[in-house]
Amino acid sequence: MLDIKFIRENKKEVQEAAKNKLLDLDVDKLLSLDERRLTLLQEIEELNAQKNNINDEIAKSDNREPIIAKAKKIKHKLSELEPEYKKVKKEYDNLMVKVPTVPSKDTPIGETEKDNKVIFESKKPSFDFKPKDHIELCEALDIVDFDRGAKISGYRGYYLKNEGAMMVMAMMQYAFQKMISKGYLPMIPPTLAKENVLFGSGYFKGVEYDGDVDEIYQVATSDKEVDGKKSTDKKFLVGTAEPVLLAYYSGEILDEKDLPLKLCGFSPCYRSEIGSYGKDTKGLYRVHEFYKVEQVVIAPASVDLTNEIQQEMVEVSKEMHEELGLPYRQLQICTGDMGTGKYKMFDIEAWMPGLDRWGETGSASNLKDWQSRRLNIRYKDFENKKHYPYMLNNTALPSVRPFIAIIENYQQEDGSIVVPEVLRPWMGGIQKIEKDK
């Protein structure tokens, strides 16, 4: 969410950003609604002030009838203005959440992932045999069970088994320790979150959750408060640790001397993938649940500083891909393929020879103050002035897609899988996954 003053003063740039991000937004209509909203609010406040003074006027007057008549007029006028204000405010709010962050000047202008810019690409591996995909390899080695996963969990369900389960846990341990070594505060955050957390971090397309477009699972079971009463809060399963890490400071005022705050979180992740119906229907590439180590940074409101921090976050992801021995490339994401609130965005993709494609394994984004305004997080600078901090996030390492890349890149002609050296400390000394003989 942007500052309405900024939108008013930069109307042309905001409208252009909406166009380039393929968003249906009429900035002129938004500003018109804002003017009407403020006018109505002022009128309502003035009438309420008069209403509050009526009792004093009645107590001091010998002729109460004109005052009572005045009170009736105020009440009638309020009954007209308040519903109109609520209607205008709702329209205004619905448009405000669609207002995008104006992307960086070096962000490529484009409509789809085909328009993303390749920044770096490592050499693809060559094989002396035709590489198999991870589905065939995992089933042959009995390290993933897709059939029973679908039986128990439904479409896109799976069981990690044996060395497959061990490898995924090794990946998460490796990534968690890597982030700690880079100065990130480790957390295992809740994965059950209230509605304001998901809205605040930008995971709803609109003001409220819409199950037809938001790829988030809502928990149907009602909860109870500490006093035993039924909770009115809606609860959701998070698709990443990002929203719960950022919301840790929601409603708080931080000190600039403590910034940037660097956090990393390990969590299960849940995604409905409703917008991906028919895509990647087999295997692990697109699933409903997985694990991930996520990193977020809350920084002072400085574009130069956060550009540096974002690059540092990307470098950590690149370092892990290199240590895991995975061929990868770095992309700068174009306007049409980036989210509403994003200022600048980079993706990391690993090469998956069995699938014969690049697959996204990480994404680093700078959202400036778009999320901090929604979450009401501010900080005091050294002159005691308050600002909204800039917020960044990056996928340090997810479980399934790098797992695919490891399985497919480390496969041997006999169908065995060599375990990357950096993961072996968490694999009980296992160096190769082989069929039982």
- pLDDT tens track for 296-354: 999 999 999 999 999 999 999 999 999 999 999 999 999 999 999 999 999 999 999 99
The pLDDT of residue 278 is 62
The pLDDT of residue 384 is 95
Q: Are 94 and 207 in contact (CB under 8 A)?
A: yes
Do 4-96 and 113-433 fold alike per CATH? no
Residues 112, 229: Cα–Cα separation, whole Å: 48
DSSP β-bridge partners for residue 411? 417
Q: Is the pLDDT of residue 62 over 80?
A: no
Report the share of the chain in percent with pLDDT over 70: 97
Nearest to 341 by CA among 204, 434, 174, 169: 204
Residue extents of the structural domains in the chain:
4-96, 113-433
The pLDDT of residue 211 is 86
Q: Where are the alpha helices (DSSP H) in 201-302?
A: 242-246
User: Which residue numbers are catalytic?
Assistant: 271, 286, 360, 363, 401
| Cβ-based neighbours of 123, under 8 Å, separated by 6 or more | 327
Residues 217, 198: Cα–Cα separation, whole Å: 11
C-alpha angle 137-143-148 in degrees, rounded to nearest 5: 105
Range 4-96 classified under CATH 1.10.287.40: yes
The pLDDT of residue 222 is 78
More confident residue, 275 or 80: 80
Angle between helices 134-141 and 400-409 (to 10 degrees): 80
The pLDDT of residue 429 is 87
Handedness of CA 282, 288, 291, 295 (dihedral sign): positive
Beta strands in 154-284 (DSSP E): 159-160, 185-187, 192-194, 217-218, 235-237, 253-255, 261-270
CATH architecture for the domain at 113-433:
2-Layer Sandwich (3.30)
> pTM, whole model, 2 decimals?
0.91
Angle between helices 65-96 and 27-60 (to 10 degrees): 160
